Amino acid sequence: MVYHSPEYRVMTNSPTYDKQLAQVRTFSGLGGEQPLPGSTLASDRFARASYYVSRLNQPATQIEAIAAMFSVMRNAAQPFRVPDPGKPEASQTLWQVVMDLTHRRYVFESTTRPNIVWVNFDELDFSTTSPQAKLNLVDDLTLENGIAGNVSRHFKQGETLTLLTMAMLKHAH
């Protein structure tokens, strides 16, 4: 099922979206009476994100809009920790992104790196004749001498990406 409407602005891993929408209506400030939950369960994180997104002020600038979305996502993120062996389905939030469709800007934040970086798509060459380029977000976001801010010009020509096919997987065994 596809949900398409400006009112659908939040998503977490589970349960299914129809169940998330029904459950979120039970919380105070979202149509119900129950207090806003604070656990790391995906359904509780969905409720918190829904609550805070519904209370954001209209941003005056692009930076305010991006900052507002990151503040909500950080509040709903799964804490960085060693996963619970009793809950193998639980995972930690490793990165968060905000995509500004109006200004064609992709903003990336890694849980394990201190720097926020962004790519302005208008500064990249997406023509069919342009070489493939890549940005190493693991090595290039180090604490010392790491890149930060607009990284559009930091892409380097890379090897052609080869997608796995079923035939390749069959021959690997």
Q: What share of the chain has pLDDT > 70, as a percent?
A: 89
What pLDDT sits at residue 160?
A: 72
What pLDDT sits at residue 145?
A: 66
* Token pair for 73: 């996502």
Give the predicted TM-score (pTM) of the model: 0.78
Confidence of residue 172 (pLDDT cuts 50, 70, 90): low
What pLDDT sits at residue 135?
A: 84
* Token pair for 115: 């720097």
Each domain of the chain, given as residue ranges in start order, spans 94-172
Q: Residue type for 101, please?
A: L
**pLDDT tens-digit readout, 39-91:** 888 888 999 999 999 999 999 999 999 999 999 999 998 887 766 777 766 77
